[in-house]
Amino acid sequence: MVESATFVAAVKHAIHHGGGRNHTKQTIAGDLPLATLAAARDPRSRAPWQRLYALQVHVADAVVVAAAVLLAQYVRFGQSPAFDNGVNKQLTGFSILFAILWLTALAIFHTRSSRVIGAGIEEYRRVLSASFWTFGAIAIATLLAKLDVARGYLAIALPVGTTALLLTRHLWRNRLRRERARGRYQTSVLAVGDEGAVSELARELTRSPADGYHIVGVCIPGYGESREDSILVKGQEIPIVGDETRALDATVTFGADAVAVAGTEHFGGRGLRRLMWDLEALNVDLLVSPGVTDVASARLAMRPVAGFPLLIHVEKPQYEGAKRFQKRAFDFCFALVAMVVTLPVFLVAAVAIKLTSRGRVFYSAERIGLRGKPFNMFKFRTMVQDADVQLQSLIEQNETEGGVLFKIHDDPRITSVGKILRRYSIDELPQFINVLNQEMSVVGPRPPLRREVDTYDGEVMRRLLVKPGITGLWQVSGRSDLSWEESVRLDLCYVENWSMVGDLIIIAKTLRAVLCRSGAY
């Protein structure tokens, strides 16, 4: 962040040298000339961790690529007596050229761009695209040159190198998220827009500390001296620095790395374009919120008008047709395989429950499924036989915000075996029977009780547009630690954006959440 002394010195310099003269470009938002603001902002001060992170990833990529091509050469040709030293030197030269081309492709596809590091799967997609582009180019070149080198060579280098690149990127991303969760490696953001819009934007950007966004200030159009000088977001006071005309001054003062605009009506087309140019001179990113949240990027597309991207088109959610059939087929096959693989665990759990407490092995409870249709959901019994009768005496101990869900730590109704079953989510294995009966999906919203559905408003009712799932976004985002509002938000997000790729990612994350026993009690 720029020190205040630097900023004050720049202001004095501007006053002394006539910063407001015609030859100095004047900013559209603020009292200080743009040249003065640019001088006050040390270009090296902008997120120095990004340069260090990119350098570290660059070195790791070079090591991985070099190791992959040398391994491929050694395995394919190293032990063969058919090649003399001269040929081996040519192969080494080919490997060096290959490695340079691969690293160049990684740079061309911007796989180390600050806009993709640590954010979603775009970084992985670019790494894959760069790798397959490289191998395609090498294969075509060797085919046209009639060189009998590429087939076995590429068959080793491609899977080994690409897998290693993705693995190292994953390790770097995990390190980045850990550092961000500790408050380091942050991207400082100045938010501009109406108070409600910037409050919502601030909540979304800071929802997960591991995403690395820190709101340093807000500019509210029409801000007056009589208004409060800060807004409260998730218990944190964020200063209001003025209206939209103070955006550039505040960017330098607070050392923001990006300006996020929530609503562009106060700038207009020309004003927003000038703001973009001015921020470019300061080496600051401009982020424009589309005003829609919890909508996957796959459903968003820029719609050109007269050749310019003027509108954002939001695709409708896909609930019917081929995708529903695909999901149903996947659910059936996955549940059948899961039942066969977990059969030994299934039998051991059933015997342990029967020997240690009175009552049935399975617990059956009514849940509300697709389009409000009730069904009986099966689980291994983890509580004493009369647990439902004891619920009323414990209702005041409910630890879930909103009071709709009932969750408490150290529930006295849970048996000793039940604690183990819950800790490892073994109690949920019988729900695969519900999946085979087409009452549930492997992935979906949390199966609700009837009393929960009775409290739903029109928005929450959208949870019932798809089948409830054994796991879902709620399972991999905190499980029992989630509030009611957060659970609803995640379920609606899943309903609006579900896809088979998303389901596979959730299943993989579920396995990790179960092994880590996070949020299970």
- CB under 8 Å to 155, separation ≥6 — which residues? none
Amino acid identity for residue 324 in this structure = R
Q: Which domains does the chain have, with CATH numbers?
A: 48-181 (no CATH), 186-291 (3.40.50.720), 322-516 (no CATH)
Phi, psi (rounded to 5 degrees) for 241? -100, 0
Mean pLDDT for all residues in the chain: 77
Our CA dihedral for 389, 391, 392, 397, rounded to 10 degrees, sits at 160
Distance CA 435, CA 469 (A): 8
pLDDT bin (cut points 50, 70, 90) of residue 392 is: low
Question: Contact at 8 Å (CB) between 428 and 470?
Answer: yes
Q: Which residue has the higher pLDDT, 263 or 466?
A: 466
pLDDT bin (cut points 50, 70, 90) of residue 349 is: very high
Distance CA 252, CA 245 (A): 13
- Per-residue model confidence as pLDDT tens digits over 306-345: 555 656 656 666 666 677 888 899 999 999 999 999 999 9
Percent of the residues in the chain that have a pLDDT greater than 90, as a whole number: 21
pLDDT at 513 over 80: no
- CB under 8 Å to 366, separation ≥6 — which residues? 374, 375, 376, 377, 449, 450
Residue 157: exposure state from Cβ atoms within 10 A (0-12, 13-18, ≥19): buried
SS3 257: coil
Q: What share of the chain is helix, strand, coil (3-state, %, to 5)?
A: 55, 15, 30
Distance CA 480, CA 475 (A): 8
Rounded to an integer, the average pLDDT of 52-79 is 86
pLDDT bin (cut points 50, 70, 90) of residue 44 is: very low
Rounded to an integer, the average pLDDT of 220-228 is 65
pLDDT at 186 over 90: no
User: Containing H/E element for 68?
Assistant: helix 48-73
pLDDT bin (cut points 50, 70, 90) of residue 346 is: very high
In the prediction, which pLDDT does 293 show? 60
- Per-residue model confidence as pLDDT tens digits over 409-464: 777 788 889 889 988 889 999 999 999 999 999 999 989 888 888 888 777 888 88
In the prediction, which pLDDT does 273 show? 82
Give the position of tokens 């596979």: 504
pLDDT at 17 over 70: no
Most confidently modeled of 152-156, 161-165, 211-215, 496-500?
A: 161-165
- Per-residue model confidence as pLDDT tens digits over 73-120: 888 776 444 445 555 666 777 788 889 999 999 999 988 887 787 776
In the prediction, which pLDDT does 155 show? 83
Give the position of tokens 């160049």: 104
In the prediction, which pLDDT does 238 show? 85
Query: Among candidates 289, 288, 285, 286, which has minimal Cα distance to 46?
Result: 285
Angle formed at CA 11 by CA 10 and CA 13, multiple of 5 degrees: 65
pLDDT at 24 over 50: no
**DSSP label of 17:** T
Query: Among candidates 161, 152, 105, which has minimal Cα distance to 133?
Result: 105
Amino acid identity for residue 191 in this structure = A
pLDDT at 26 over 50: no
Distance CA 32, CA 27 (A): 7
